[in-house]
Amino acid sequence: MTELNESWNYKKWASLSYTTMSISENDQQSFNKSSAESVHDKAYSKTLRLTCLYIMIIGGIIGGFLLLIWVKMNRRWKSRINILILNLSAADLSVIFFACTPQLVWEYVDREWFAGAFMCKLVKFMQSFSMMASTNMLIVIALDRHQAIRAPLRKPITIWKMAGLGWIVAALTSLPMLFVFVLVERNGQNRCENTFRNKPKLHRQIFLTYVAFVVFFIPLILLILFYARIFLKIAQKATENQSCNNATNGKPGKVHLQSTKSSSLPKAKIKTLKMTLVIVSMYIICWLPYFTAEMIMSYGNHKIISPTLYSILGGIAPINSAANPYIFLMFSVNYKTLNCPKWRRVTYTNPDSTRSHFISSSRIEKSDSYKEQYAKRCPTITVEMTTLEN
């Protein structure tokens, strides 16, 4: 039991126990037989935990409300990618409300549990469910982008079915939390603890490995697979279209407008792909160091990781949930023409006349009333065009 106790005492240094992959601090209290001051007792440790929690809660709520305002203002929010982003935002907000907020309250009451046995299981389930839902939405978005680029002519899967599947899988993979965490009484106080206290170390390793693979490593493999195939397709299209672009450029008697396809894919798809890659990169940057540390803690020499470093890694891991709304808004908000629809008024001149038209990516003109309605909201783009002589 010496090795087990030593390892679990180190787990006291984890900063955020709402990441259900970690063993809760109150599981360690009776194990620490030494009267010496532990690292977890130092003031900076609690200050660090509270600082991370406040940053995530305040930043996440503000970002969520900004995203809702954008949805209210944007007429095209029902597009596939926007619906998926809204589901991701809902999952991220659930991390804020069901994971960070209970943890913040728990910190202020010194982790004593007052809510009863049912809420002990429910809170731990919701903490796991919210984080797994956020991860699953990243996979669903990657799958949707993969289908849009690799098989654009194939009938897409209903977007709400894809999103619903992500939520259902998150609930199913979180069910073990209902059996792992129980309410116990220790030293006259109620504690919401896991059941690994009196079990072999192997049980804890199996549990942590399960959570690490379900929440991070398996999703990471899928994300790499989807985006690798996407970039291979983009490279293939770029090669195929290069000769066509060279052949059509400079033909006499033609008027050339810059189309929505600047290279091999529409600009909108390229922009969406960049946005999803930034979101996924943020997810990897936040969670990879933490899960790497967890695996070292479970199977390697835990002494090679300093308590301060482990505390920091546990604190920054869920920050991606607070950052996702800002990433989406950064790529979605047109700061020059906020909420301007895709139809734009284009004024061009030739030697004979000056005319105004509404053009879109498909170059389909709308009725006069439609043009008049949107001309008031959209800026005029003046493009000088000269008809080439034969």
Could you report the per-residue pLDDT of 354-377, keeping only the tens digit for each? 444 444 434 444 445 544 554 454
On whether the CB atoms of residues 280 and 142 are closer than 8 A, the answer is yes
Count Cβ atoms below 10 Å from residue 189 Cβ, excluding itself: 15
What is the model's pLDDT at position 268? 63
- 379 or 38: which leads in pLDDT: 379
pLDDT of residue 132 exceeding 50: yes
pLDDT of residue 335 exceeding 90: no
Give the confidence band of 382 by pLDDT, cuts at 50, 70, 90: very low
What is the model's pLDDT at position 367? 47
What is the model's pLDDT at position 265? 59
- 354 or 248: which leads in pLDDT: 248
Question: Average pLDDT in the 117-132 region?
Answer: 89
Give the confidence band of 165 by pLDDT, cuts at 50, 70, 90: very high
pLDDT of residue 251 exceeding 60: no
Element (H or E) spanning 267, and its range? helix 267-299
What is the model's pLDDT at position 9? 41
In percent, the amount of the chain with pLDDT more than 90 equals 7
> Please, what sign has the CA dihedral across residues 196, 197, 202, 205?
positive
- 363 or 178: which leads in pLDDT: 178
Question: Average pLDDT in the 28-48 region?
Answer: 45
Q: Rounded CA gap, 346 and 369, in Å?
A: 16
Least confident of 2-16, 65-79, 284-298: 2-16
Count Cβ atoms below 10 Å from residue 178 Cβ, excluding itself: 14
Q: What is the 3-state secondary structure (H, E, C) of 130-148?
A: HHHHHHHHHHHHHHHHHHH
What is the model's pLDDT at position 333? 65
pLDDT of residue 317 exceeding 70: yes
Phi, psi of 111, rounded to the nearest 5 degrees = 65, 20
The number of angstroms, rounded, from the C-alpha of 213 to the middle of its chain's C-alpha atoms is: 17
Which residues are within 8 A (CB) of 273 and not within 5 positions of it... i.e. 6 or more apart? 145, 149, 230, 265
Least confident of 32-46, 130-144, 186-200, 272-286: 32-46
Domain boundaries, the chain: 2-332, 344-384
What is the model's pLDDT at position 26? 38
What is the model's pLDDT at position 186? 78
The number of angstroms, rounded, from the C-alpha of 174 to the middle of its chain's C-alpha atoms is: 18
Write down the mean pLDDT value for the chain: 70
Question: Average pLDDT in the 327-343 region?
Answer: 60
- 201 or 28: which leads in pLDDT: 201
Give the confidence band of 136 by pLDDT, cuts at 50, 70, 90: very high
pLDDT of residue 134 exceeding 70: yes
Question: According to the CATH classification, is domain 2-332 in 1.20.1070.10?
Answer: yes
What is the model's pLDDT at position 308? 72
pLDDT digits (tens, 9 = 90+) for 254-310: 444 444 444 455 666 677 778 878 888 888 888 888 888 888 877 877 677 777 777
